[in-house]
A and B are shown apart, each in its own frame.
Chain A
Amino acid sequence: MTRYLIHRLLTFIPTLFGISILVFGAVRLIPGDQIMAALGTEAGMLTDKQREAMEVYYGLDQPPIIQYFRWLGNLLQGDMGISTRHGPILAAILKRLPLTIELAVLSLSVALLIGIPIGILSALKHNSFLDLAGRIFAMIGLAVPSFVLGAILIYVLSVGFGTLPNSGNYTDFIDDPLLNLRQLAFPAITLGTSFAASVMRMTRSSVLEVRRESYVQTARSKGLAANLITRRHILRNALIPVTTLIGIEFGYLLGGAFIVEHLFSLPGIGRFAVFSISQREYALIQGITLFVALTFICMNLLVDLIYVALDPRISYRDHN
């Protein structure tokens, strides 16, 4: 187990290194730089000397290779650089990450709440009308793009109920838990419903599969009450693949919550990332990408470890 963990942690290094090169190169290949993003067409009014001064200010004066290694060197010492608009980048990312993680957790809760019961029901009543109806109901959530659902929720809340829990005044959980949860409830519903369908599908198919596994057949032949079989064997085993799914979707939620953060004006990491691309803040884009990737692979490692804990058939003694 320890060897497995060390092996997995070691693979983080090449992955993150590859991502750092990929993102570093990509952002520099995109046309336009931070000076243009900040000044617009007025950037052309700068004299050569003025432009040089600006390049020094934004740290664009060195050749990319040197910029990369300088950045990497600082990174290894825990320094991600300084943004002209957001100050120290590490602090700026750490300030926004908790919101997105909290939103991801809440959305997943919504998804599990809707997806698991319907998935189980749909599998137990396989190919019945209930199966079909339940699945279609869950899939509608998946099928409505989150920005449409979000816009409808915002409209209904503000026009119908004269309220909108978050109006650009997002409050951290620590400062005011109640207000914080109110502010995140609707974004979480918006995001969560779109994952309910995949949770439902995964639950349904793994319940179906487990139901046909031999040990369930054995249990059945031993005459255990059907209800007990369902609870003891099927559910526990069926939920294993769902945890894998959660790992993947958690990663998606970290990087992909942008649209919901944008609509509900939540200052999370997704919105931060898109802003930093449009502002061409290279160091910021690089930092955010690495952080989100790191969170994602850690989450997946965690999921794999939970997997082992849940499933007696799998062990990670000597292979990956």
Chain B
Amino acid sequence: MRNRSGLIGAIIASALVVVAILGALEITPYPYWQQHRLDSLEPPGDRYPLGADLFGRDIASRLMRGASNSLYVSLLSVCFATAVGATIGILAGYFGGRTDILLMRLMDIIFAFPGLLLALLIVALLGRGLNNTLLAIGIVYTPIFARVARGPVLALKETEFVLAARVTGAGPWHILLRHILPNMTAPLIVQISLGLSWALLTESGLSFLGLGPEVGEPSWGVMLSGENRALAERAPWLLFYPSIAIMLGVLSFNLLGDGLRDVLDPKLRGNT
């Protein structure tokens, strides 16, 4: 990849993924849940490189575990939004007519519904938990992916190669899968990389409201909320490191997205 910023984004993102995998496998300096209550609010030092929280849990270990939970939520919520949203968008765009109106009107309803309220209602309804959080975020972002997918389909279905395929008698599913989908991956991939950073921030916003993974499971958002916020003044490391983690995550997804955009955009290909 000749794209410098994209490369930096890719490197940071891969590093975070490695950390997240270690966290998911619980290969951490301390068990992320283990309390050392005598070391409550221990500042960063030899024993706890990034300090300890109110319960004497190792921040570094919790950040690693948090990486796996936060990335899980953002990746899967974006996957959900992409899968559902893009399918709806493609179907609406390709078939047009009533299907289009019905599906896109449905998307408009969700799109116009205040996002945070929608997520709040969904989590209040389903209860707290990693999967419910990701579902809530996924639903909120679905209409955006539907819109992103529908536009190119409208353009593509009038192109010569699609018309040609239709004339030769190819069925709609064949055309969708073989001719249209491959030609619209670029805008989708860019949107996905953007969606990842939104999801990461939305997760932390929901944690602020007391919604997030199951109690005891850290995510970067959870580590920035609850008792840690009240304690931030006397133990700044509680907020400092999770903030850095979210920052790195958002930064890498954005740089990666910009890089992919530059590389995948056919208009830019070959230039510069």
Contact = CB atoms under 8 A, between A and B. Distances in A.
Q: Do A and B come from one complex?
A: yes
Interface of A: 11, 14-16, 18-19, 22-23, 26-27, 29-30, 126-127, 131-132, 135-136, 139-140, 142-148, 151, 155, 194, 197-198, 201, 204-205, 208-209, 212, 251-252, 254-256, 258-259, 270, 273-274, 277, 285, 288-289, 292-293, 296-297
Given A23-B113, A29-B125, A143-B247, A127 B204 contact: no
Contact of B109 (A18, A27, A259, A292): A18
Give chain A's interface secondary structure class.
Answer: helix
B149 to A, nearest CB: 16
Nearest to B248: A143
B112 interface: yes
Given A139-B254, A209-B267, A127 B272 contact: yes
Contact of A277 (B106, B117, B221, B255): B117
Interface string B211-225: 000000000010011
Give chain B's interface secondary structure class.
Answer: helix
A258 B120 CA distance: 12
A144 B243 CA distance: 6
B3 interface: yes
Contacts of A148: 224, 239, 243
B208 interface: yes
B201 interface: yes
Nearest to B127: A31
Contacts of A255: 114-117
B52 to A, nearest CB: 20
A116 B265 CA distance: 22
B272 A126 contact: yes
Nearest to B114: A255
Contact of B114 (A155, A194, A273): A273
Nearest to A135: B5
B135 to A, nearest CB: 14
